[in-house]
């Protein structure tokens, strides 16, 4: 699968996370992704803490297997060069505020005249239309507006942001999925396409069962901490040392929990016979479970419950994650060679096909690492021409 997108050329104008992470997924599958940034850098995450050498670890997380060039799109010469790049590209990805590309003279209508079957993917907080289409939208704001924060956190606490930029990450997946579909349509119909992706649209669609509960039953899900509003026991419990998460998703699994804990009578208790019963008597059941969980360590309970088919696991910190034997067995950490840092580590793409993982052929590029290579190799520019472009601040 590593060469599934070989021959596909992507011009990546996007910044921060949703766009860069989405194009990185394409690059992992063999697409030639060329990041295009302003001279001096236009991606804010290049300046986000922490750093390794001069590089932001945040930037490093979303830009492997790409090339990088600098190009000043606010200059006539810069736009001319970009249009030449478009002629041989399949996809352009951008996440400027709605209307920015049009003001640069590089909007969808213009791109279509340059490459009649070009695919433009525009990523914004709120989409290309609607009363908020010009509003900026970063991940935490989208988590708030989408209702995600309202259903996250302790029951008696404040709405809480998820610990990762989940709106950006979810959107990045839709970037990759939509562009794979757009390539298929392009090949069938030879037409240009404009993909309009909104972080808010993505996060609202990701409400899944919570949205369905409201739309079909007018049920408004409340914050429940680590518990689940529809199933129990499906939450964390404190053991003799550390907490454990269990997910007894059906009556059979609950029976296994009861038997492992030495309380088979719970299975026939009228309060706990079905999930509906357990939901109605949630607090009583939790009190019983808490008392028993406290009698053994998390590791002991994990072994016992797993042996009987109950999904469960320790609540690991980040260090423990990368020391976990399953994570190590699956080779989730790979190494790549960076231009200035040498050998560096990355979390690999999780796709595994025919027992093969997708390679990390190139660490994230330093700013403008491939500018001269692109202009000399693809446009035949000589050294004198390149120096003129540098002097004029175009590259």
pLDDT tens for 281-340 read 999 999 999 999 999 999 999 999 999 999 999 999 999 999 999 999 999 999 999 999
Same domain, 191 and 69: yes
Quick one: 109 and 60 in the same domain? yes
% pLDDT > 90, the chain? 95
Q: Which residue among 282, 314, 346 closes a domain?
A: 314
**319 within some domain:** no
| pLDDT for position 378 | 86
Last residue of a domain, one of 264, 285, 314: 314
| Shared domain check, 247 and 172 | no
Q: Which of 28, 32, 90, 168 is catalytic?
A: 168
Task: Answer yes or no: is 173 within a domain.
Answer: yes
Range of 40's domain?
9-207+333-392
246 pLDDT tier (thresholds 50, 70, 90): very high
Predicted pLDDT at 359: 87
- Do 101 and 248 lie in one domain? The reply is no
pLDDT in tens, 116-172: 999 999 999 999 999 999 999 999 999 999 999 999 999 999 999 999 999 999 999
Residue 2 pLDDT level (bands cut at 50, 70, 90): confident
CATH code for position 44 = 3.40.50.10540
Domain match, 49 and 169 both: yes
Same domain for 186 and 271: no
Q: Would 233 be classed as within a structural domain?
A: no
Residue 394 is predicted with a pLDDT of 96
Whether residue 147 sits in one domain with residue 19: yes
Q: Taking 90 as the threshold, does the pLDDT of residue 1 lie above it?
A: no
Distances (CA, A) of 183 to 87, 118, 187: 16, 9, 6
* Shared-domain flag, residues 309 and 343: no
Mean pLDDT of all residues in the chain? 96
**Cβ burial 10-21 (10 Å sphere, 16+ → b, else e):** bbbbbbbbbbbb
**Same domain as 354, residue 252:** no
Vertex 251: Cα angle to 209 and 292 (nearest 5): 105
Look at residue 98 in the predicted model and tell me its pLDDT: 94
Give the pLDDT score at 65: 96
Place of tokens 């050329």: 9
Gap between the Cα atoms of 388 and 342, Å rounded = 31
Task: Name the CA dihedral angle for 334, 335, 336, 342, rounded to a multiple of 10 degrees.
Answer: 160
In 71-124, at which residue ranges do the beta strands (DSSP E only) sit? 91-94, 119-124
Say if residue 88's pLDDT is above 90.
Answer: yes
Question: Residue 374: is the preceding peptide bond cis (ω within 30°)?
Answer: no
The backbone torsions φ and ψ at residue 302, rounded to the nearest 5 degrees and listed phi first, read -60, -45
Share of the chain above pLDDT 70, in %: 100
Q: What pLDDT, on a 0 to 100 scale, did the predictor assign at position 245?
A: 99
Does residue 40 sit in the same domain as residue 70?
yes
Strand-by-strand arrangement of the 32-37 sheet: 66-70, 32-37, 9-12, 91-94, 119-124, 193-198
> How confident is the model at residue 146, as a pLDDT?
98
Instruction: Please report whether residue 45 resides in a domain.
Output: yes
Any domain includes 52: yes
Summarize pLDDT for 40-72 with one digit per residue, the tens: 987 899 999 999 999 999 999 999 999 999 999
Same-domain check for residues 338 and 248:
no
Number of domains making up the chain: 2
Domain harbouring 291, CATH code? 3.30.1540.10
Spatial separation of the C-alpha atoms in residues 151 and 159, rounded to whole Å: 7
Note whether residue 342 is domain-resident.
yes
Which tokens in the block code for residue 43? 């991606």
Are 309 and 354 in the same domain?
Answer: no
Asked whether residue 309 is assigned to any structural domain, the reply reads yes
Considering Cα of 242, then 243, then 247, then 251, what sign does the dihedral take?
positive
Q: Are 314 and 302 within 8 A, CB to CB?
A: yes
Asked whether residue 230 is assigned to any structural domain, the reply reads no
The reply to whether 102 belongs to the active site is no
């Amino acid at each position: 699968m590593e060469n599934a997108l070989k021959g596909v050329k992507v011009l990546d104008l996007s910044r921060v996370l949703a766009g860069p992470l989405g194009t990185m997924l394409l690059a992992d599958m063999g697409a030639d992704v060329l990041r295009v940034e302003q001279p001096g850098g236009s991606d804010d995450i290049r300046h986000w803490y922490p750093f390794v050498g001069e590089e932001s670890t945040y930037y490093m997380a979303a830009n492997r297997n790409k090339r990088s060039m600098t190009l000043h799109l606010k200059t006539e010469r810069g736009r001319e060069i970009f249009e030449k790049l478009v002629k041989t590209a399949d996809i352009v990805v951008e996440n400027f505020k709605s209307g920015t590309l049009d003001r640069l003279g590089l909007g969808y209508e213009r791109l279509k005249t340059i490459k009649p079957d070009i695919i433009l993917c525009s990523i914004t907080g709120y989409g290309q239309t609607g009363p908020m289409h010009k509003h900026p939208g970063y991940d935490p704001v989208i988590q708030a507006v989408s209702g995600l924060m309202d259903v996250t956190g302790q029951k008696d606490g404040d709405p809480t942001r998820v610990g990762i930029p989940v709106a950006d990450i979810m959107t990045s997946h839709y970037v990759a999925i939509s562009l794979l579909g757009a390539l298929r349509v392009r090949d069938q119909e030879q037409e240009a396409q404009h993909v309009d992706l909104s972080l808010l649209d993505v996060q609202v669609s990701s409400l899944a069962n919570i949205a369905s509960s409201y739309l079909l039953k007018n049920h408004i899900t409340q914050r429940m901490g680590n518990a689940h509003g529809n199933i129990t026991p499906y939450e964390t419990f404190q053991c003799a040392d550390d907490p454990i998460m269990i997910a007894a998703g059906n009556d059979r699994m609950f029976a296994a929990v009861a038997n492992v804990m030495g309380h088979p009578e719970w299975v026939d208790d009228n309060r706990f016979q079905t999930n509906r019963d357990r939901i109605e008597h949630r607090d009583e059941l939790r009190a019983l479970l808490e008392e028993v969980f406290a009698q053994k360590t998390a590791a002991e309970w994990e072994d016992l419950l797993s042996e009987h088919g109950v999904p469960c696991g320790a609540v690991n910190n980040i260090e423990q994650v990368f020391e976990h034997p399953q994570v190590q067995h699956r080779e989730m950490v790979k190494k790549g060679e960076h231009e200035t840092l040498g050998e560096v580590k990355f979390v690999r793409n999780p796709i595994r096909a025919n027992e093969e993982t997708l390679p990390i052929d190139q660490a994230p590029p330093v700013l403008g690492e491939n500018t001269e290579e692109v202009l000399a190799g693809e446009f035949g520019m000589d050294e004198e021409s390149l120096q003129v472009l540098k002097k004029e601040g175009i590259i």
